[in-house]
Amino acid sequence: MEIDIIGLLSAFSFALDCVEAELIHVTSNHGKRVAYMSVCMAEKMGVSDDALRDLAACALLHDNALTQYINEEFYSDISNIDTLKVSSDDITPRQLGMHCIYGEKNLEKYPFKTGVKDVILYHHEEADGSGPFEKKWTEVPLFARIIHFSDMLDAFCKAQKFDEDVFNKAVHFIEKNKDKRFDSEVTKMFFDAFDKEEFSRLGDEHIEEYFWEKVPCEKSFYSFNVLKDLADLFAKIIDYKSEFTSRHSLGVARTASKISEIMGYDKVICDKMYLAGTLHDVGKIAIGNEILEKPARLTDEEFAKMKNHAGYTYMILSKVDGFEEIRDIAAFHHERLDGSGYPFGKRADELTTLQRIMACADIYQALTEKRPYKDGMDHDKACEILKDMADKNWIDKNITEVICHTKEL
């Protein structure tokens, strides 16, 4: 499949920011600011082309395993996620080290084009050797040092508006920590790249556009296995926001792919259905856990908020050049043939067979799996409901028949 893979990572970065906002209160666009600062600084060292794109990839997902480790370390009961908040000050060097180990492993299969070994692993090392692995700056890859600098500076600023006052505070923070947390080389790179005016762009609503100016969209061909690894990584990330949401997405992915295979579609289409299924609920990362994990039926107001998730899925996946077909299959899973669905109110003549398959797979999976407020139904009971929905012209009758005549999905 030909896509802009950095665009996909950018979408994942947005999702990761949403999860981390609940867990450790990072400000919005944290990942993109870290990535933008990193590539601006690296350019001052002559980094370009594939190397710059690889740095951008690492920076966008530098904290890909942080939520995983925080959950395992602090939240033995996922239901406490809204009452047990974690401050970055609560995280010890050992814990930072573990999240770096997990993060490095998670990106082992990412198709980097240049050498980025140990960049994620050592992105929390301090210049004086006081970091998790006690590596001094001369023992740490340049990209890891750049990401560390950008990450720590953004965490210190904790700002949405990067005005002159914030710039002055940032300068004081950098000078205070030079040769302790930050080495002189990356410190110089920052000041070469950022004056007050350039610094102010970090808080601009167009920060994503500035990032793409530095790392232009570039579509390349990637195998299904590469994209599946990334989609499964994303499922792992959201697993630590809402465990059942992640299980649901992977279940929908398998079910949608299986239905497509039974209906005679080739492997390429079945693989696309798997990817779309894995990502169909990506928009739920923007929905609060008080709704996602509520052990009872939602109120009308809560359901209205929940319905926004399909629109968020469409918005997030729209950022990925080359993902348009998968975006539509994923985001239209709550549309109905009679036009009464959401978020776009599409009708039968506007919905492809693949989009209809995804809608049916989503409903079947939701009916048969256990949720906080219900047990899962057996196959026959789920099919009764599917057939009733098909009779109401909500979902496709032919696809419903395929599901109901298949005992193992």
Asked if residue 183 lies in contact with residue 137, where contact means CB atoms within 8 angstroms, the answer is: yes
Is the pLDDT at 97 greater than 90? The verdict is: no
Shared domain for 130 and 267, answered yes or no, is: no
Asked if residue 360 lies in contact with residue 395, where contact means CB atoms within 8 angstroms, the answer is: yes
Which stretch of 39-53, 157-171, 247-261, 371-385 has the lowest confidence by average pLDDT?
A: 371-385
Query: In 61-92, where does DSSP find H-type helix?
Result: 66-74
The better pLDDT of the pair 13, 53 is held by 53
Shared domain for 260 and 361, answered yes or no, is: yes
Residues 64, 58: Cα–Cα separation, whole Å: 9
Instruction: Please tell me the predicted confidence (pLDDT) of residue 168.
Output: 97
The residue out of 158, 185, 220 marking a domain boundary is 220
Shared domain for 176 and 295, answered yes or no, is: no
Shared domain for 51 and 125, answered yes or no, is: yes
Q: Give me the CATH number covering residue 170.
A: 1.10.3210.10
Say which amino acid occupies 88: S
Shared domain for 361 and 214, answered yes or no, is: no
Which whole-number Å values give the CA distances from 92 to 69, 124, 226, in the listed order?
12, 11, 33
> pTM of the prediction?
0.84
Question: In the predicted model, what is the mean pLDDT of residues 202-226?
Answer: 91
Domain enclosing residue 298, as ranges: 242-404
DSSP string, 345-362: --BGGG--HHHHHHHHHH
Which letter, b or e, does each residue of 327-346 get, where b requires 16 or more Cβ atoms within 10 Å of its Cβ?
A: bbbbbbbbbbbeeebbbbeb
Shared domain for 160 and 253, answered yes or no, is: no
Instruction: Please tell me the predicted confidence (pLDDT) of residue 244.
Output: 63
The residue out of 220, 255, 275 marking a domain boundary is 220
Altogether, the residues listed in the chain come to a count of 409
Shared domain for 261 and 183, answered yes or no, is: no
Residues 27, 176: Cα–Cα separation, whole Å: 23
Shared domain for 202 and 71, answered yes or no, is: yes
How many DSSP H helices and E strands does the chain contain?
A: 19, 2
Shared domain for 246 and 212, answered yes or no, is: no
235 is a domain residue: no
230 is a domain residue: no
Going by pLDDT thresholds of 50, 70 and 90, the confidence category of residue 297 is confident
Checking phi first, is residue 393 left (phi over 0); if not, alpha (psi -120 to 50) or beta?
Answer: left
Instruction: Please tell me the predicted confidence (pLDDT) of residue 91.
Output: 58
Residues 104, 37: Cα–Cα separation, whole Å: 21
155 is a domain residue: yes
Residues 54, 66: Cα–Cα separation, whole Å: 20
231 is a domain residue: no
Is the pLDDT at 371 greater than 80? The verdict is: no
Shared domain for 127 and 84, answered yes or no, is: yes
Q: Among 216-225, 328-337, 400-409, name the most confident range.
A: 328-337
Number of domains in the chain: 2
Asked if residue 35 lies in contact with residue 152, where contact means CB atoms within 8 angstroms, the answer is: no
Shared domain for 314 and 175, answered yes or no, is: no
309 is a domain residue: yes
Instruction: Please tell me the predicted confidence (pLDDT) of residue 65.
Output: 81
15 is a domain residue: yes
Residues 360, 6: Cα–Cα separation, whole Å: 31
DSSP string, 275-319: HHHHHTTGGGGGS-HHHHT-SSPPPHHHHHHHHHHHHHHHHHHTT
User: How open is the CA angle 386-278-263, to the nearest 5 degrees?
Assistant: 50
Shared domain for 27 and 153, answered yes or no, is: yes
237 is a domain residue: no
Is the pLDDT at 88 greater than 70? The verdict is: no
For tokens 């990506």, name the residue: 282
143-172: pLDDT as tens digits: 999 999 999 999 999 887 899 999 999 999
229 is a domain residue: no
